[in-house]
Amino acid sequence: MQPPDIYDLVSLAALTETPRRTVRYYIQCGLVDHPEGIGKGASYSRRHVQQLLLIRKWQLAGLSLERIRELLKAPERGPLPPAPRRPGTVEVWSHLVVADGLEVTVERGRAGLSPEQVREFFRAVGEAYARIHESEEKE
């Protein structure tokens, strides 16, 4: 069975698991396109569903509505660019202590790395340090 192409606000909210009040707020803020028609006769399309699901995905990834608005204004840029660093910005960094006095820190989003790639990078750093350290001991 094919999903309908047109939704009312109640159906749209249920489908995207977004409160109706929030849908209206997103429309008011310009995050979601205005519906066709007004009031109880307003209708929403699959485009609205996609917009709401994208917002939800980015929110679950930890992006603020302000950041989501920036990304929606420039979707043709490709992968998500790093968010500007502002006072109060919270970032999660991976920290590897290689040896006393030698540490590596990575913010995987800014580095464009997946969690697996960060682990691989840290493993390679550890191996490189071990090789260098072994060659110093042999000399």
pLDDT band at 111 (very low <50, low <70, confident <90, very high): confident
Percent over 90 (pLDDT), the chain = 53
pLDDT at 7: 92
Q: Which amino acid is at 13?
A: A
pLDDT in tens, 48-88: 999 999 999 888 888 889 888 888 877 665 555 666 677 87
pLDDT at 89: 73
Please state which of the ranges 14-28, 85-99, 122-136 shows the lowest mean pLDDT: 85-99
| Cβ contacts of 77 within 8 Å, gap of 6 or more | none
CA contacts within 13 A on the Cβ side of 8: 4
Per DSSP, 31 falls in state: S
pLDDT band at 1 (very low <50, low <70, confident <90, very high): low
pLDDT in tens, 118-129: 999 999 999 999
Other beta carbons within 10 Å of 116: 8
How far apart CA 108 and CA 92 sit, in angstroms, is 8
How far apart CA 33 and CA 55 sit, in angstroms, is 12
DSSP 32-66: SPPPBSSGGG-BEEHHHHHHHHHHHHHHHTT--HH
pLDDT in tens, 28-38: 999 999 999 88
Cα–Cα distances (Å) from 116 to 22, 60, 106, in that order, read: 35, 20, 13
The predicted model scores a pTM of: 0.55
Residue that is written with structure tokens 């939704």 in the block = 7
pLDDT at 44: 94
